């Protein structure tokens, strides 16, 4: 996100892309270890003689010296830096990170305030040199496979040919026995299988193994020969690699995944998440599920079968409720079939990565943020990686979590009260990246706020915020960071680089969330409320301006306004009205910001959508308009599309029955088609049992099953039945169940029952169809009860 210093490359220089970073304490001090992908193959760099750095209050120097009198390996240095409230700070430099940790304990006990002691040594080294992913170095001496670079600096993005290997394992249902390990990529489609005969089967190389230990050993040997940069899979870290680690431990075989010939290093997240992280020297493990979520993809289920079906139109070779039993049968009776299934899973993962350009997205994100390729989440870390080096150069150190205390509560986005009803010609005007554009326009910035606080207020030199905040017009940092990202995204769009454009959008839009998060060291409600409250003002004043132009605003939601264009409102078409309003509103805001605040507007209003038909419902059981829930028809070329927001058809906690019913009903109503007999026929088909497969609820267990002590909703009741039957649902599992006359019952158990409980059709009519129908039918002079009461009396 920061422009690196440009260097001329000498003939001896090499360039590479950063795969992994690590640090370790050594006899010669703190050492950093970086693994790079280069055009000449992998390179391992070791940078020795480093120090672990943090900061302390200069006024407490004597207290620091007293507290650390018995500790060796540290030094201090006076610096031209201060903390956010103007206190001068000095630097504490420790020759080992272990020494710094011990020093912090002693200083905390002595009441000496420190800052930035939580920044990892490798990250600090790289960020202070504005290195994100691509580096240039001059090779120095080599020792034990590592190069000691004479210089290391940022460089332009290099051309990448990353070596990618897809990995998947098959085990017994209880996870106690390893059956096979599948590999796909780098020219192989191979499966190592315990007890199999070595042979080729339909393009799959099946390699027989004498034992689980032999299978693991052959896999690790193949990994060293293939030498991938990237390992990909589905739940790769949480299942496949973790299980391989356990199998290796049981077999007393070193799990030598790393390019350094060592085992990976594991870390498990605390709490109930059970999420695991792995560090593999020189290799990156990328999980498809986590990358999809990071790239803001949404699926009803992130299972490989579900995602591959939607993305590729293809799926797993075994996909039914008894998959575990079928895998066991194939392992015992048809090993070539299991090998085909195993390698097909690998292939599906590779194809999803290729189709959605997930690796390109991960690379683009790393180059923008400086975060490791495999970093999950990391919005706060990405912000700090970009911001800290600039902050230091501006003369400040970063505050610690909790340093800023305030009773001010920063509100969320503004959501306007809606006007419920059915409309024709509703246009949506959308503020492009509203919060980033507010930061740019009103120069909102933590450092800019600190600078303004220590200076005498001058209206010509400051921009007003909210809740007593104001910001300097010169010396700010964040607006410039966002401006560069904005320009980079526009360039990526022009170059049709979708992964880069998408990565920039996610990062840029995350910055408000970071500033508004109490988990960020820069959190200050006066700063983040200056963003959200300005957003409120912009939506409200935009509404007022639009209404002066003779149009009604029927809804507004954080960064957009919905404008009704009645048939007699203008001689122009609705689309022409939308384009004209957007252009004029942009001009109005430019003039407003110049005249009222003395700044240049970065606000950008776009005419986003034209709904030919539009419906805004009421809150259920009232006449008040709802929020964040609507539907309408838009045109995409010659095709008309039905769009839902927040309604049942796009919510997975409703049954397929309700979702399809809503979709078809709205089409009929919007198109002016007869609907009464159709509704009655739909209800009749439900009562006749013709739609039983559409009556399945599907909900996820958000906690461990035994944690549901008091409140046990239907899906938990169904999960408890599965647990009693020996299936042991886990936190995060999806539970599929029907509502019967005897309550919720899991799909798998009811299908297996010799005398299943009858389904409670009355429940589905009352809880699924009626709410959907009565949200919109009253606007067409009808109701669900009016249409089907006679049917229900007969039934």
**What backbone phi and psi angles, to 5 degrees, belong to 124?**
-65, -45
Residues 61 and 121 in one domain: yes
Residues 148 and 192 in one domain: no
Q: CA–CA separation, 455 vs 235, rounded Å?
A: 53
189 within some domain: yes
Asked whether the beta carbons of 776 and 626 are under 8 A apart, the reply is: no
501-532 as b/e: b if 16+ CB within 10 A: bbbbbbbbbbbbebbbeeebbbbbbbbbbbbb
630 within some domain: no
Assign residue 236 the CATH number of its domain.
3.30.420.10
- Check residue 779 and give its pLDDT: 94
- Check residue 793 and give its pLDDT: 61
Domain endpoint, select from 369, 384, 416: 369
Assign residue 702 the CATH number of its domain.
1.10.132.60
Long-range contacts of 645-648 (CB under 8 A, 24+ apart): 647/617, 647/775, 648/771, 648/772
Domain endpoint, select from 154, 174, 203: 154
8 within some domain: no
Q: CA–CA separation, 739 vs 727, rounded Å?
A: 20
1 within some domain: no
Spatial CA neighbour of 651 closest among 702, 711, 719, 697? 697
- Check residue 28 and give its pLDDT: 83
Residues 188 and 268 in one domain: yes
Residues 219 and 97 in one domain: no
- Check residue 11 and give its pLDDT: 61
- Count of beta carbons in the 10 Å neighbourhood of residue 253: 16
187 contact partners, CB below 8 Å, separation of at least 6: none
Residues 275 and 332 in one domain: yes
Assign residue 514 the CATH number of its domain.
3.90.1600.10
Domain endpoint, select from 103, 121, 154: 154
Residues 356 and 424 in one domain: no
Q: CA–CA separation, 3 vs 480, rounded Å?
A: 11
Q: CA–CA separation, 19 vs 35, rounded Å?
A: 6
Spatial CA neighbour of 579 closest among 599, 609, 617, 547? 609
Percent helix, percent strand, percent coil in the chain, to nearest 5: 40, 25, 35
- Across the chain, which distance is largest between two alpha carbons, in Å? 91
Residues 232 and 352 in one domain: yes
Residues 260 and 358 in one domain: yes
Spatial CA neighbour of 561 closest among 407, 415, 379, 400? 415
645 within some domain: no
Asked whether the beta carbons of 620 and 771 are under 8 A apart, the reply is: yes
Helices (H), 267-394: 288-294, 304-312, 323-333, 335-356, 358-369, 379-393
276 three-class SS: strand
Residues 463 and 562 in one domain: yes
- Domain that includes residue 665, residue range: 650-794
What pTM was computed for the model?
A: 0.88
592 within some domain: yes
Residues 150 and 236 in one domain: no
- Check residue 7 and give its pLDDT: 54
638 within some domain: no
What stretches in the chain show pLDDT beneath 70?
Answer: 1-11, 270-274, 320-322, 456-459, 570, 648-650, 790-795
565 within some domain: yes
Residues 137 and 174 in one domain: no
Residues 561 and 582 in one domain: yes
Asked whether the beta carbons of 564 and 552 are under 8 A apart, the reply is: yes
| Number of domains forming the structure of the chain | 4
Asked whether the beta carbons of 590 and 582 are under 8 A apart, the reply is: no
Asked whether the beta carbons of 51 and 143 are under 8 A apart, the reply is: no
């Amino acid at each position: 996100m920061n422009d690196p210093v440009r260097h001329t490359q000498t003939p001896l220089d090499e360039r590479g892309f950063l795969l992994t970073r690590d640090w370790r304490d050594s006899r010669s001090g703190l050492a950093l270890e970086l693994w790079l992908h280069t055009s000449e193959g992998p390179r391992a760099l070791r940078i020795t003689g480093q120090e672990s750095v943090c900061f302390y209050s200069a006024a407490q120097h004597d207290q620091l010296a007293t507290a650390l009198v018995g500790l060796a390996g540290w030094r201090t240095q006076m610096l031209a830096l201060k903390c956010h409230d103007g206190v001068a700070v000095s630097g504490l430099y420790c020759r080992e990170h272990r020494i710094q940790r011990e020093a912090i304990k002693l200083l905390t006990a002595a009441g000496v305030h420190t800052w930035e002691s939580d920044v990892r040594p490798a990250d600090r080294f790289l960020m202070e040199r504005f290195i994100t992913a691509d580096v240039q170095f001059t090779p120095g001496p080599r020792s034990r496979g590592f190069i000691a670079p004479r210089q290391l600096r940022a460089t332009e993005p290099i051309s990448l040919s990353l070596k990618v290997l897809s990995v998947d394992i098959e085990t017994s249902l209880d996870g106690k026995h390893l059956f096979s390990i599948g590999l796909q990529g780098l020219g192989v489609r191979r499966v190592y299988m315990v007890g199999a005969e070595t042979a080729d089967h339909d393009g799959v190389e099946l390699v027989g193994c004498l034992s689980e230990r032999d299978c693991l050993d052959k896999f690790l040997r193949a990994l060293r020969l293939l030498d991938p940069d990237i390992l990909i899979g589905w739940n790769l870290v949480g299942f496949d690699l973790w299980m391989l680690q356990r199998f290796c431990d049981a077999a007393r075989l070193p799990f030598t995944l790393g390019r350094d010939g060592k085992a990976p290093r594991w870390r498990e997240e605390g709490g109930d998440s059970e999420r695991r992280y792995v560090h593999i020297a020189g290799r990156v493990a990328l999980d498809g599920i986590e990358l999809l979520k990071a790239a803001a993809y949404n699926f009803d289920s992130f299972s490989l079968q579900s995602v591959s079906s939607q993305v590729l139109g293809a799926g797993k070779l075994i996909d039914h409720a008894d998959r575990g039993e079928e895998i066991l049968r194939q392992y015992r009776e048809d090993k070539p079939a299991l090998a085909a299934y195993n390698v097909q899973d690998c292939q599906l993962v590779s194809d999803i990565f290729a189709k959605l350009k997930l690796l390109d997205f991960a690379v683009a994100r790393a180059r923008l943020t400086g975060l490791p390729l495999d970093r999950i989440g990391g919005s706060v870390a990405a912000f700090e990686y970009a911001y800290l080096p600039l902050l230091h150069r501006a003369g400040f150190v970063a505050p610690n979590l909790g340093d800023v205390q305030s009773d001010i509560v920063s509100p969320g986005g503004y959501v306007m009260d809606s006007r419920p009803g059915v409309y024709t010609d509703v246009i949506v005007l959308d503020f492009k990246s509203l919060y980033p554009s507010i930061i740019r326009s009103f120069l909102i910035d933590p450092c800019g706020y600190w600078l303004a606080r220590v200076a005498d207020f001058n209206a010509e030199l400051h921009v007003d915020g909210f809740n007593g905040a104001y910001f300097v017009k010169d010396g700010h940092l964040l607006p410039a960071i966002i401006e560069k990202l904005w320009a980079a995204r526009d360039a990526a769009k022009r170059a049709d680089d979708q992964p880069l454009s998408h990565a920039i959008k996610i990062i840029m839009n995350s910055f408000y969330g970071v500033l508004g998060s109490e988990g960020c060291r820069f959190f200050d409600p006066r700063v983040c409320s200056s963003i959200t409250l300005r957003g409120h003002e912009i939506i409200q004043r935009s509404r007022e301006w639009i209404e002066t132009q003779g149009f009604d605003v029927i809804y507004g939601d954080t960064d957009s306004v919905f404008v009704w264009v009645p048939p007699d409102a203008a001689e122009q078409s609705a689309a022409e009205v939308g384009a004209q309003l957007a252009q004029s509103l942009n001009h109005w805001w430019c003039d407003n910001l110049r005249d009222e605040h003395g700044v240049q507007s970065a606000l950008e209003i776009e005419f986003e959508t034209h709904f030919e038909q539009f419906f805004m419902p009421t809150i259920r059981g009232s006449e008040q308009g709802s929020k964040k829930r609507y539907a309408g028809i838009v045109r995409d070329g010659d095709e008309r599309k039905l769009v839902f927001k927040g309604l049942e058809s796009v919510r997975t906690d409703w049954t397929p029955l309700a979702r399809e019913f809503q979709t078809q009903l709205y089409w009929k109503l919007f198109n002016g088609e007869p609907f009464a007999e159709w509704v009655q026929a739909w209800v009749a088909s439900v009562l006749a049992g013709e739609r039983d497969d559409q009556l399945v609820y599907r909900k996820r267990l958000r906690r461990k099953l035994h944690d549901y002590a008091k409140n046990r909703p239907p899906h938990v009741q169904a999960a408890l039945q599965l647990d009693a039957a020996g299936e042991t649902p886990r936190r995060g599992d999806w539970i599929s169940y029907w509502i019967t006359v005897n309550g919720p019952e899991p799909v798998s158990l009811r299908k297996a029952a010799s005398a299943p409980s009858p389904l409670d059709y009355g429940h589905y009519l009352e809880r699924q169809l009626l709410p959907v129908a009565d949200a919109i039918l009253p606007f067409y002079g009808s109701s669900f009860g009016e249409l089907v009461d006679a049917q229900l009396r007969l039934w």
